[in-house]
Amino acid sequence: AQSVTQPDIHITVSEGASLELRCNYSYGATPYLFWYVQSPGQGLQLLLKYFSGDTLVQGIKGFEAEFKRSQSSFNLRKPSVHWSDAAEYFCAVGAHGGGADGLTFGKGTHLIIQP
Amino acid sequence: DTGVSQDPRHKITKRGQNVTFRCDPISEHNRLYWYRQTLGQGPEFLTYFQNEAQLEKSRLLSDRFSAERPKGSFSTLEIQRTEQGDSAMYLCASSLPDRGSDTQYFGPGTRLTVL
């Protein structure tokens, strides 16, 4: 069965500092990986995705993520965070072609930005 | 290109009542997914449609849950005889698979509170 682990429930970062959110997955085939962001009471916004090819993927709002097959990881990074980045971040894994299994999400990491 | 919309955004009901939520996908997206998100958790996949066909429904939480997509456009999720444990955010997502990739775009969700 597929699963996603986000080891950090909360992370606090100072504004302007760099950020790395961890994500480890378990999946029996080649995974299709996503990062979504959720503001309070809102739906999920897609930040970036990895399907194939270059293992370093760029997303919106200055985020990037690196797929490391040997470590079963897909960590999210940003060189300098802004106060508006405070939100809940979810890593997800799905099958190529999508469909019957939907996406499997981690429990999320709550990002707090200190002024 | 308008995004995924969901109605209502909030629903408060009494235990034992039936509720129905609507999802309008991004136009021309042929896949539609439903998820449930409880407090402090990531979204949990419930069911999905390709056009009007419901291709996966074994993950619906009980026989009190049902979903339809009668003309392959909007979808409804119904919960009969609601219980307090049904209180959650119900999220809808849509996608248009392209060369094996399937990226889901989420709506703002419907927050259900069962008293």
Q: Tell me the C-alpha to C-alpha distance, in Å, between residue B34 and each of A47, B16, B57, B77, B79.
A: 20, 22, 10, 8, 13
Distance (Å) from the C-alpha of residue A115 to the closest C-alpha of chain B?
25
Residues A103, B41: C-beta atoms closer than 8 Å: no
Give the model confidence (pLDDT) of B26-85 as tens digits.
998 999 999 999 999 999 999 999 999 988 888 888 999 999 999 889 999 999 999 999
Give the model confidence (pLDDT) of A30-62 as tens digits.
889 999 999 988 889 999 999 888 899 999 999
- What CA dihedral angle connects A4, A50, B108 and A102, to 10 degrees? -60
Burial class (CB in 10 A: 0-12, 13-18, 19+), B46: buried
Residues B45, A102: C-beta atoms closer than 8 Å: yes
Q: Which of B86, B92, B4, B88 is nearest to B46 (CA)?
A: B92
Cα(A24)–Cα(A42) distance, integer angstroms: 25
Considering only CB atoms, which chain A residues are within 8 Å of B43?
44, 90, 103, 105
A44 touches chain B (CB under 8 A): yes
